[in-house]
Structures are given as structure tokens and as C-alpha cells.
């Protein structure tokens, strides 16, 4: 098994890369899915968030109000650190369990890709055989968040500021996928990276 960390800042197009790698045959373990699961209604994670941030971060149906929580944590590094201290260990445990389940049913020598936007922040990069970083200039991230997600520019910049910097992510990279070009450019680069991953997996 080849264990690969895949990361990129918000608006980098990491999810586009993940979808292409899945179509090529990678086993994808998505940290966003894990992040939702560990704070679902009735979980210890949600109970700890309510205890830490108050009942105002819950919707009337008892589910987490992500927008309201985001307003709190993305404008205050201390509050974000509190949230990360709750969720990061739970997400790590969920993803490890998902890896065990996926590899038990996989054929041959699987390539398991951990799709994790906050890989640099979590400190887990050292546990992977290699790290792929999807990279675009920060101004392009802001433009995409404004045009594709309807964020205000200030809100988009606050989201970027709450994540690791571009330089911090690139410092962890074994492989870089530049996603500042066209989708055809991305298809070609992902195909190159997939061929490299298959060679690495076969050599293990």
C-alpha cells in the first residue's frame, strides 16, 4: 500500500484533483467527510463543540450550524485552535478506521490518498509515504471563492489567513500539482502524477 497525503488551500481545486485520482483507481479517504461525521448529531465531538462554543452553534434540529461556527473561529485564531483541538484527533481516528476498511477490500497494492485541506495544520504529514500539494497563487484562490462560492473578498481572505500559508504547504510537498491553468492542463498533470504513484506503489 502507498499512503499519500493530498492537500491544498481553499479554492485551490484540490477536490478536482481528488475526483480525477479516484477515477483513475485511487482509494480516497476524504477529511471533509470525516469532519462532518465526527460532529454529527449525537457524537461526542458535537457535544464538546457545544460545551466549548455554546448552544448558539447548533441549528434548531440539533445539527452543527457550520456558518455560525465559522464566523466565530475564522476571525479568532484562539477560537480556531480550540476547535482544531477537538476535531483533529477525532478526524485522524475516523480516517485510520476508513483506511483499514478500504484496504481490507482492495485488490493488489492499493494507492490510498488522504484528501485533507488541513494537512499542514494537523501535523500528520510525516505519516504518509509522500505528500501532494495542489498549488495556485493566493489571488486566484480569492477570485475563485468570490466567483464560485459567493464569498465576499474579505471573507475569502479571512479563510485563507486561517489556513497554513502557501509557503508552509509547499515546504511539505514531494509532488506539486499546479492548478492555475485550464482543466485540460490539470488532466495532463494528474495523469503524470498517477503514473508516478503507480510506479512508487509497484516498487514497494
What is the tens place of the pLDDT at every residue in 66-118?
999 998 998 899 999 999 999 989 988 998 898 888 777 767 778 999 998 88
User: How high is the pLDDT of residue 173?
Assistant: 96
The interaxial angle of helices 138-149 and 153-162, nearest 10 deg, is 130
pLDDT-above-70 percentage for the chain? 99
CATH number, domain 2-203, options 3.30.70.1400, 3.90.550.10, 3.40.50.300, 3.40.50.1370: 3.40.50.300
C-alpha cell at 18: 481528488
User: How high is the pLDDT of residue 75?
Assistant: 84
Query: In the chain, what are the domain boundaries?
Result: 2-203
DSSP 3-state assignment of 7? strand
Amino acid at each position: 500500500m502507498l499512503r499519500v497525503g493530498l492537500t491544498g488551500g481553499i479554492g485551490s481545486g484540490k477536490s478536482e484533483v481528488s475526483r480525477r485520482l479516484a477515477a483513475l483507481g485511487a482509494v480516497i479517504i476524504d477529511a471533509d467527510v470525516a469532519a462532518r461525521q465526527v460532529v454529527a448529531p449525537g457524537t461526542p465531538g458535537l457535544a464538546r463543540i457545544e460545551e466549548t462554543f455554546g448552544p448558539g452553534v447548533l441549528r434548531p434540529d440539533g445539527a452543527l450550524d457550520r456558518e455560525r461556527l465559522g464566523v466565530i473561529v475564522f476571525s479568532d485564531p484562539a477560537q480556531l485552535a480550540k476547535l482544531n483541538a477537538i476535531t483533529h484527533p477525532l478526524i485522524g481516528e475516523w480516517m485510520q478506521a476508513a483506511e483499514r476498511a478500504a484496504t481490507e477490500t482492495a485488490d493488489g497494492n492499493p494507492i490510498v490518498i488522504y484528501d485533507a485541506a488541513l494537512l499542514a495544520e494537523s501535523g500528520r504529514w510525516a505519516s504518509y509515504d509522500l505528500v501532494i500539494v495542489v498549488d495556485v497563487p493566493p489571488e486566484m484562490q480569492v477570485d475563485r471563492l468570490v466567483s464560485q462560492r459567493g464569498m465576499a473578498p474579505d471573507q475569502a481572505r479571512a479563510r485563507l489567513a486561517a489556513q497554513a500559508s502557501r509557503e508552509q504547504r509547499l515546504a511539505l510537498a514531494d509532488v506539486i500539482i499546479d492548478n492555475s491553468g485550464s482543466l485540460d492542463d490539470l488532466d495532463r498533470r494528474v495523469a503524470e502524477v498517477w503514473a508516478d504513484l503507480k510506479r512508487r506503489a509497484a516498487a514497494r
